[in-house]
Amino acid sequence: MKEENCIFCKIASGEIPSKTIYEDNEFRVILDISPASKGHALIIPKEHYADIYELPEDMAGHAMILAKKLAAHMTAALKCDGFNIVQNNGEVAGQTVFHFHMHLIPRYQEDGNQDKLCWNHLELSQEELEDICEKLQQ
With CB under 6 A as the contact rule, which of the stretches 61-69, 92-100, 108-116, 124-132 interacts with ligand AMP? Answer: 92-100
3-state secondary structure of 17: coil
Question: Which residue, 28 or 106, has its beta carbon nearer to Zn ion?
Answer: 28
As a whole number of angstroms, the distance between CA 47 and CA 132 comes to: 35
Nearest distance, CB of residue 57 and ligand AMP, angstroms: 21
As a whole number of angstroms, the distance between CA 17 and CA 11 comes to: 6
62 is catalytic: no
With CB under 6 A as the contact rule, which of the stretches 30-38, 47-55, 71-79, 110-118 interacts with ligand AMP? Answer: 30-38
Question: Which residue, 40 or 48, has its beta carbon nearer to Zn ion?
Answer: 48
Q: Which does 71 bind (CB under 5 to 8 A by kind): Zn ion, ligand AMP, none?
A: none
As a whole number of angstroms, the distance between CA 85 and CA 60 comes to: 14
Question: Which residue, 40 or 80, has its beta carbon nearer to ligand AMP?
Answer: 40
- In 3-state terms the chain splits into helix, strand, coil percentages (rounded to 5) of 30, 20, 50
